[in-house]
Amino acid sequence: MATMQLQDILFSQGFGTRRVCAGLVQQGLVAVAGVTCDDPAMEFIAEGLRFSVQGVDWEYHEKAYLMLHKPAGYECSQKPSTYPSIYTLLPAPIRQRGGGAAAGVQAVGRLDQDTTGLLLLSDDGKFIHRMSSPKHHVPKVYEVRAKHPVDDAQIRKLLAGVVLDDDPRPVRAAACEKSGENDLSLTLTEGKYHQVKRMIAAVGNRVEDVGGLHRARIGSLSLPDDLKPGQWRWLTAADLASIAARG
């Protein structure tokens, strides 16, 4: 396997410019396998490398694939207008990976500020495109709390297709089932602006303003019960395979 200089490993993982990364090493703030390193040019096999910076443990990832449990009251924007950005929930190195103007991870699609649930982030452009493109039909499951009781006629309309004001072609739910008097589980395979809210409105109901919309699953990957709002974690190889699964 190819090796990389320690300063380049730190740079690729978002710990600052190469000069800053070299300085971290020279100051004795970086350890590999528990051993402090003071030579920025020391070479290591990067893949799977575990190291610590200023006492915080990290693992090398050539590309970043993360899940975040998005809480309410956050915008999926680097330049939020009203609410804080979801990116403030991530450690600085993840926000700075790779350096340059396009540094850091990007959200795979967006959730409204009042929508909660599973959000994926990555710095892999091909992955972002594949997961967000409607051509790939990756199913996304939303738990919806409606303002008024949900009836069978509304379910039938959502499955048959409703017309939104920006497209004459009907938009259909891939799956839809009632889970409570005012609750339903809605599966979509494309992502239009405010799509769930507009589809519910099109059948004569509306999504509750507070706690009304939660994304529970992408592909076959569900939001873990132990990942609390505002928390994030790396995706595993099994997670990535699960996302790609259909249905």
Given this model, what pLDDT does residue 245 score?
62
Q: Which domains does the chain have, with CATH numbers?
A: 3-59 (3.10.290.10), 65-134+220-244 (3.30.70.580), 139-218 (3.30.70.1560)
Three-class SS state of 22:
helix
pLDDT of residue 247: 45
Average pLDDT along the chain, 247 residues, taken 10 residues at a time: 93 94 97 96 95 96 96 93 95 86 82 95 92 83 97 96 86 94 94 89 94 93 95 94 69
Residues ≥6 apart with Cβ < 8 Å to 51: 9, 30, 31, 32, 33, 57, 58, 59, 60
In Å, what is the CA distance from 153 to each residue of 95, 150, 159, 178, 203? 46, 8, 10, 11, 9
CA 203 – CA 194 distance, rounded (Å): 15
What pTM, to 2 d.p., does this model score? 0.91
**236, burial (CB in 10 Å: exposed 0-12, middle 13-18, buried 19+):** exposed
Q: What's the confidence (pLDDT) of residue 242?
A: 81
Active site amino acids: 112
Predicted pLDDT of residue 130: 87
